[in-house]
Amino acid sequence: MSIEVKSFDTLRQASEVLGGSAQYIAGGTLLMRKVNYGDQSFNQLVQSTDPALKQIQSQGDEILIGAGVTMSEIMQHPQLQFLGEVARSVGGPAIRNMATIGGNLFAPRPYGDMATALLALDANLHWASGQQQSLEQFLERSDAARDIVHSISVRQPPTGAFQYLKVSRVKPKGVSLLTVAVLLNRENGRTGNVRIAFGGMAPEPRRAMAAEQALQGASLDESGIQRCLAACTEGMAPADDSLASSWYRNEVAPVYLKRLLLQRS
C-alpha cells in the first residue's frame, strides 16, 4: 500500500485533515516503524512546518516548549536543563535527534519517559484548535479527540526540586521497566507541595496520589517517608510483560522512590 505525505504551513491546516486514514507525523520514530511493519490503519501522513512547533519561550518562570522540539534540542537548551536528564534517557543519539516532546505524550508503554516527567511537573498542553488542557486530564482520557499538540507549558522548578529516575535492564539506552519523577518543595525543613508520577506502573504515566498525600508535611528521612513508600503503588496497574512482572514492579517501585527521595535530604 502506498502512503501519501501531506505538508502544511500551519498546524491548524494540518489538524483539519486528521482522522480517518490520516495520521500526524512528528519525529516519526514510532510512526515510521508502523509504516515499515505494513500497518494498514492509515494511508496518509500529515506533517507541518509551522515554526511554533520549534519555539522555546519563557515568560517568568513558565516555559513554552513547541511540540516538535526534539530530545537532543532539550538537552542543549540552557533553560531546559531541568529536563536534560530526562531527554538523555530516551533511546540512543539517533532516536533523540528525531524523537519529539510532543510525540512522547502519545507513546505507549514502555515508552513515555518524558510524559512521566512532565506529569510530575504539572505541564499543560496547548492544542492547535486553541484549547488548553492539563497533561493529567489528557492522560486520563484515552478517547481524546484527534488534534495536534502545538506546545507544552511547564513551570521551571526551583533548583533541586525536581528529580527523575529511569530503571531499565539495558544501559544506557534500554526502554524503561519503570520511571519515577518527583517534584517536591520544602517548607521550613518539611515537605511542602509534592507531585509523584510513575511510568510503567499503569497503561499511561500516573500520579501516585496516596503517596503524595502521605509525604505532605513529612520529614525527608527514613522514618518520615515510610507512609509515602507504603502507599506508592495504591491505584497502580503495573505492566506484566517481557521486561518484568507486575509483582516485580510493585516490589521495586517503593525502593526506587525511596532512593530518589533520600538522595535529596
Q: Which is closer to ligand FAD, CB of 82 or CB of 111?
A: 111
Q: How far apart are CA 165 and CA 27, in angstroms?
A: 24
Is 31 a binding residue for ligand FAD by CB under 6 A? The answer is yes
Site stretch for ligand FAD (CB under 6 A), options 87-95, 182-190, 224-232, 248-256? 87-95
Residue 28 or 235: which CB sits closer to ligand FAD? 28
Give residues 32-51 in contact with ligand FAD (rule: CB under 6 A).
33
Among the listed residues 35, 75, 98, 165, the single contact to ligand FAD using CB under 6 A: 98
Q: Which stretch binds ligand FAD (CB under 6 A): 94-102, 202-210, 214-222, 250-258?
A: 94-102
Instruction: Kindly state whether residue 165 participates in binding ligand FAD, applying the rule CB under 6 A.
Output: no
Region of 23-31, 35-43, 54-62, 135-143 interacting with ligand FAD (CB under 6 A)? 23-31
**Given the complex with ligand FAD, which of 152 and 183 has the nearer CB atom?**
152
Q: ∠ CA 28-102-54 to the nearest 5 degrees?
A: 90
Q: Does 69 bind ligand FAD (CB under 6 A)?
A: no
Q: Residue 110 or 224: which CB sits closer to ligand FAD? A: 110
DSSP letters along the chain, please? Answer: ---EEEEESSHHHHHHT-BTTEEE-SS-TTHHHHHHTT--S-SEEEEE--GGGG-EEEETTEEEEETT-BHHHHHH-GGGGGGHHHHHTSS-HHHHHH-BHHHHTTPPTT--HHHHHHHHTT-EEEETTS-EEEHHHHHH-TT-----EEEEEEEPPPTT-EEEEEE-SSTTTPPPSEEEEEEEEEETTEEEEEEEEEESSSSS-EE-HHHHHHHTT--SSTTTTHHHHHHTTTT-----SSS--HHHHHHHHHHHHHHHHHHT-
Using CB under 6 A as the binding rule, whether residue 100 contacts ligand FAD is answered as: yes
Q: Is 175 in the site for ligand FAD (CB under 6 A)?
A: yes
Question: Which amino acid is it at 105?
Answer: L
Rounded to the nearest 10°, the torsion over CA 20, 54, 112, 76 is 160
Largest CA distance in the chain: 63
Report 107-126 residues binding ligand FAD (CB under 6 A).
107, 111-114
Shortest Å distance, C-beta 234 to ligand FAD? 24
C-beta of 262: minimal distance to ligand FAD in Å?
25
For ligand FAD, give the closer residue by CB, 110 or 157.
Answer: 110
Give the one residue of 148, 167, 177, 184 binding ligand FAD; rule: CB under 6 A.
148
User: In the complex, which residues of this chain contact ligand FAD (CB under 6 A)?
Assistant: 23-31, 33, 67, 90-91, 95, 98-100, 102-104, 106-107, 111-114, 148-149, 175
